[in-house]
A and B are shown apart, each in its own frame.
Chain A
């Protein structure tokens, strides 16, 4: 039993990073695509810009997650990066909802 537990403990940080990279990366990329609409450009161009930028962000996040010195730091970095993106996305969401 404890051998299995030890095995889980060994693998957990790696699994954590993989989740951070794949899921967290997509989340940040998606947030970036929404946040791009906060830029001072026409909405259609903003939508396209967001999509173009999202893949760059996704790649950088994946690389960053595996460069981080620990899984915890990786998640921390993700959350820190997410804050401005969330703020920008929130403003886009409310203004788009408000425009209706």
Chain B
């Protein structure tokens, strides 16, 4: 892509990234051509946020199984043979929250499903309480309604939250950053498609083992196979947080609280606490309300119970419909009077634009799907992750061929190379390390959930350090082998530290735990294959007329 003359500014190695080479090209007086400019745009859009995008993609991919991961991370909770009755569970949790969240103006509980074996709830921090933050959260045993007695962990939710708001930063910053990355990705997709006019011919072309071209073709193939998915997932990702990214229509046109509420009601069932009457009145039994909802939607098709102003005469209860096989998250809920239990309103449809947004949101989350649909999501999403990864690696492979001195690459190249290693191989190690910490940390450790998360980041940082001190190729190979080993040994660790080894899970028909172990071995094999291929890879192609053959063996050690 770059012409040999661009080597000159790079050799000076004055710490400037290749941007200077690009600007020399792009500000030339003649037009660059559509494909070239789109190719540059694609490369830069991808490279600037590629490492974050890879992390978002991988954590997003595993999040399609976040409940199963959470189950695995709470091995004390028995395998759920069947979904407990939503009505009974809601009543139990309501009783617990009456004391635990005493004084709160709102609580909301998500009921167990076929995938999730606990009830999770959040509530507004009661006024005057010493607790920090606007909301508190907790997980509860569906059988008793009491706080879950398993080890304290965030479970699969950590990967899910990291996916769109990262960590160690205010939630809003994280979401803005994720949105920025998503916009860059959208631009990368569109520019990538424009660059490859013959995208469907290129699609079926894969020249094996020829160095630079085969990386390009792998990247192309992964991009093209999943193009509908990648386009959909990126755009819908932006849609999920669109009220934050583009609030301007609301700022301009919605002046009163009632107007804002009208729009909010089109988007979610998160009813707001109304004005308290100051008259104490016990909350009616929520299980009766849930039964009404079950009669309407199906026995296991009730997802959430939200209560406002519990204990006051102005209490309201919203019971929301379940997600199964419904390709939309647009709110469908029954609104009850919290004291009398009478059905006040039925919300079962929204306007056209709101329904469109509901469908788009649901497509991103993939929660409507049955198991085959979710596996499809997982596999295609994994391919998307590989697409981002191959793109990042391809950049270094292409640039390496053009290095005037392969032993001393310029700063930008070295930066990209090392970040690639840490972001790709390192992330696998960190994520597996998170699971390892779940089994190794003492159960009674204070702030245990936070410690698991800190372990994740500490391990990730360690892989970056490792990538900085080792020669690049050795770092790749060693870290990939390490990931493979950690993944393969995780089921062994599980067998040693819990009562749920693989053979028992299989015998009991516990597909969650058994499937998890199998998945770890499959991923271990994948990483081992990558490590092996990297180790045995010998670049066969010589860069045209640039370097003598003698430099090739040196290049491999770089």
Contact = CB atoms under 8 A, between A and B. Distances in A.
Contact of B27 (A10, A33, A34): A10
Contact of A100 (B41, B183, B255, B360): B255
Given A14-B27, A33-B248, A44 B239 contact: no
B458 interface: no
A58 B183 contact: yes
A27 B353 CA distance: 22
A59 B238 CA distance: 12
Given A10-B27, A45-B352, A47-B254, A34 B248 contact: yes
A31 B26 CA distance: 29
Interface string A8-43: 001111100000000000000110011011000111
Contact of A49 (B186, B190, B262, B353): B353
Given A42-B351, A54-B246, A63-B191, A93 B252 contact: yes
B186 A51 contact: no
Contact of B246 (A29, A37, A62): A29
Contacts of A69: 31
Contacts of A30: 246, 248
Contact of B187 (A33, A50, A63): A63
A58 B352 CA distance: 23
Most chain A C-beta atoms within 10 Å of own C-beta, residue among B37, B252, B255: B252
Given A51-B242, A66-B38, A67-B38, A46 B353 contact: yes
Interface string B166-198: 000000000000000001001100110010000
A43 B351 contact: no
Contact of B354 (A48, A62, A99): A48
A87 interface: no
Counting contact residues on chain A (CB < 8 A from B), the size range is: 35 or more
Given A44-B351, A45-B353, A37 B23 contact: no
Interface string B224-252: 00000000000100110011011011101
B544 interface: no
Contacts of B246: 29-30, 33, 50-51, 54-55
Question: Which label, helix, strand, loop or mixed, suits the secondary structure of the A interface?
Answer: helix
B34 A67 contact: yes
A14 B21 CA distance: 12
Interface residues of B, number: 44
B24 to A, nearest CB: 6
Contacts of A63: 38, 41, 187, 190-191, 194
Given A66-B37, A67-B37, A48 B253 contact: no
A33 B238 CA distance: 14
A47 B253 contact: yes
Interface string B27-68: 100010010011011000000000000000000000000000
B360 A44 contact: no
Nearest to A50: B249
Interface in B141-185: 183
A57 B190 CA distance: 13
B330 to A, nearest CB: 10
A29 B183 CA distance: 12
Nearest to A31: B248
A43 to B, nearest CB: 6
Contacts of A92: 252-253
B263 A44 contact: yes
A47 B255 contact: no
A43 B254 contact: yes
A54 B239 CA distance: 10
B242 A43 contact: no
A72 B22 CA distance: 19
B16 to A, nearest CB: 10
Nearest to A60: B190
Given A10-B23, A14-B22, A52-B242, A96 B252 contact: yes
A100 B254 CA distance: 10
B541 to A, nearest CB: 31
A33 B353 CA distance: 13
A96 B23 contact: no
B346 interface: no
Contact of B252 (A10, A34, A49): A34
B27 A11 contact: yes
Contacts of A47: 249-250, 253-254, 263
A52 B27 contact: no
A56 B40 CA distance: 21
Nearest to A48: B353
B363 to A, nearest CB: 13
Contacts of B22: 14
B134 to A, nearest CB: 24
Contact of B259 (A43, A54, A56): A43
Contact of B253 (A12, A14, A43, A52): A43
B354 A44 contact: yes
A31 B74 CA distance: 48
B252 A59 contact: no
20 contacts: A13-B26, A13-B27, A14-B23, A29-B246, A41-B351, A43-B253, A43-B262, A44-B263, A44-B351, A44-B353, A46-B353, A48-B356, A51-B242, A52-B242, A52-B360, A54-B245, A56-B235, A66-B40, A67-B34, A89-B252
Interface of A: 10-14, 29-30, 33-34, 36-37, 41-52, 54-56, 58-59, 62-63, 66-67, 69, 89, 92-93, 96, 99-100
Given A10-B23, A13-B27, A52-B357, 17 more contacts: A10-B27, A14-B26, A41-B352, A43-B263, A44-B263, A45-B266, A51-B245, A52-B242, A52-B360, A55-B183, A55-B186, A55-B245, A58-B186, A59-B186, A67-B37, A89-B252, A93-B252
